Amino acid sequence: MKPTTRPDRPFFGSGPTAKRPGWSLSGLEGAMLGRSHRDAVAKARINEVIERSRRVLGIPADYRLGILPGSDTGAFEAAMWSMLGARGVDLLAWESFGEGWVTDATKQLKLSDVRTLSAGYGELPDLTEVDFGRDVVFTWNGTTSGVRVPNGDWIAADRQGLTFCDATSAAFAMDLPWSKLDVTTWSWQKVLGGEAQHGMLALSPRAVERLESYKPAWPLPKLFRLTKGGKLIEGIFKGETINTPSMLAVEDALDGLRWAEEVGGLKGLIARSEANLAAISSWAADTAWVDFLAALPATRSCTSICLKIADPRVASLAESDQQKVVKELAGLLAKEQVAYDIAGYRDAPPGLRIWGGATVDVSDTKALLPWLDWAFGEVAARLDAEAA
């Protein structure tokens, strides 16, 4: 039976993600459009993104927080290019984005002293193997497998190396232990549903020390340059962006941050996201045709919630045929306007990925679940008919 109730907002894609509830373009009317981003008022507006982000996330006062071009990728690569190579590095990867950073370190930067600790989709590498005498590069939440590190307990407090944490799909939905993180990045279009292309970079005092004491052997494009004459460019961390930002995106980021404060700050945001995971978990526990891609419950992401199709009629198919089933499912749901963009990531095993970040209302997630069963029923009926 086709369900009758549709989610109010069928936006379950993993980035750009759903706007906050109640968002409207008219909320951006005060944006400083047509004005220089170097003007004092505009700069204050940009800096407000930094300060509100710092407040909501509880970033320590002695950490620098800046806005970088090129979204999370820009921020993370600027950090990698600026700071790696000073000592050996452990690279952790368990899905596509972590693997991307491995490629950067090994094939582009060609670092000589590298250890790669990897795991397949659904798993985490053995975190007890990490050597914190070295730099450590990892992703807090693997967006394409829906596997997150359960906490920061595995990170040494007295480490000599720096930790580089890609927190794109974790920031604002998961607790990040700032004292364990030296370099942390995220982008605007994830948990707060902002507009894309701007990345955030948080640096611990030890990361700043590295920047001011180490000069990489390779050239740095202007977009990656965080120092000048061996000193940190402090302006980047006060709203003086390296190049021109979108003042419309800035206004939208502020809109998201103000909403974050209204729903109870970080605690409220985490609760909203965890409620989405809880709704899907309890449905999945009673639903034979799906399973979480993440093997261990403690590693299951509350933002990028990845499911595989466990039904033997699908699971026994060749991977390319499973992908066709996923496309069909996602297509049916999009056509019904109940869920957009929920096919798993192109490099991930076939499955569905449902965004459960803070901007998604749990009532919408709950309304989606019967539609998932309905769509699977449609696909299963086709498979049965073909087999008969």
Ligand X SMILES: Cc1ncc(COP(=O)(O)O)c(C=O)c1O
81 with 223: CB under 8 angstroms?
Answer: no
Which of 150/370 has CB closer to ligand X? 150
Q: Is 94 in the site for ligand X (CB under 6 A)?
A: no
- Both tokens of 121, joined, read 């989709």
CA distance linking residue 74 with residue 67, whole number of Å: 10
Instruction: Annotate the chain with three-state secondary structure.
Output: CCCCCCCCCCECCCCCCCCCCCCCHHHHCCCCCCCCCCCHHHHHHHHHHHHHHHHHHCCCCCCEEEEEECHHHHHHHHHHHHHCCCCCEEEEECCHHHHHHHHHHHHHCCCCCEEEEECCCCCCCCHHHCCCCCEEEEECEECCCCEECCCCCCCCCCCCCCEEEECCCCCCCCCCCHHHCCEEEEECCCCCCCCCCEEEEEECHHHHHHHHHCCCCCCCCHHHCCEECCEECHHHHHCCCCCCCCHHHHHHHHHHHHHHHHCCHHHHHHHHHHHHHHHHHHHHHCCCCEEECCCCHHHECCCEEEEEECCHHHHCCCHHHHHHHHHHHHHHHHHCCCCECCECCCCCCCCEEEECCCCCCHHHHHHHHHHHHHHHHHHHHHHHHHHC
Taking CB under 6 A as the criterion, the residue among 168, 204, 322, 359 binding ligand X is 168
Taking CB under 6 A as the criterion, the residue among 17, 47, 143, 145 binding ligand X is 143
Which of 15/283 has CB closer to ligand X? 15
Taking CB under 6 A as the criterion, the residue among 17, 187, 241, 299 binding ligand X is 187
Q: Is 169 in the site for ligand X (CB under 6 A)?
A: yes
State in angstroms the smallest separation of the CB of 97 from ligand X. Answer: 4
Give the CA angle between residues 232, 49, 257 to the nearest 5°.
Answer: 145
Number of residues located near ligand X, criterion CB under 6 A = 11
Q: Which stretch binds ligand X (CB under 6 A): 148-156, 161-169, 207-215, 242-250?
A: 161-169
CA distance linking residue 11 with residue 19, whole number of Å: 8
State in angstroms the smallest separation of the CB of 315 from ligand X. Answer: 26
Q: Is 204 in the site for ligand X (CB under 6 A)?
A: no
Which of 283/345 has CB closer to ligand X? 345
Which of 226/369 has CB closer to ligand X? 226
State in angstroms the smallest separation of the CB of 187 from ligand X. Answer: 3
Q: Is 11 in the site for ligand X (CB under 6 A)?
A: no
Which of 104/182 has CB closer to ligand X? 104
Q: Is 184 in the site for ligand X (CB under 6 A)?
A: no
Q: Is 252 in the site for ligand X (CB under 6 A)?
A: no
Taking CB under 6 A as the criterion, the residue among 73, 163, 241, 322 binding ligand X is 73
Q: Which stretch binds ligand X (CB under 6 A): 27-35, 166-174, 249-257, 274-282?
A: 166-174
Which of 10/357 has CB closer to ligand X? 357
Taking CB under 6 A as the criterion, the residue among 139, 163, 273, 299 binding ligand X is 139
State in angstroms the smallest separation of the CB of 34 from ligand X. Answer: 26
Q: Is 303 in the site for ligand X (CB under 6 A)?
A: no
Taking CB under 6 A as the criterion, the residue among 17, 53, 71, 241 binding ligand X is 71
Q: Is 17 in the site for ligand X (CB under 6 A)?
A: no
Q: Is 15 in the site for ligand X (CB under 6 A)?
A: yes
Where along the sequence are the contacts to ligand X (CB under 6 A)? 15, 71-73, 97, 139, 143, 166, 168-169, 187
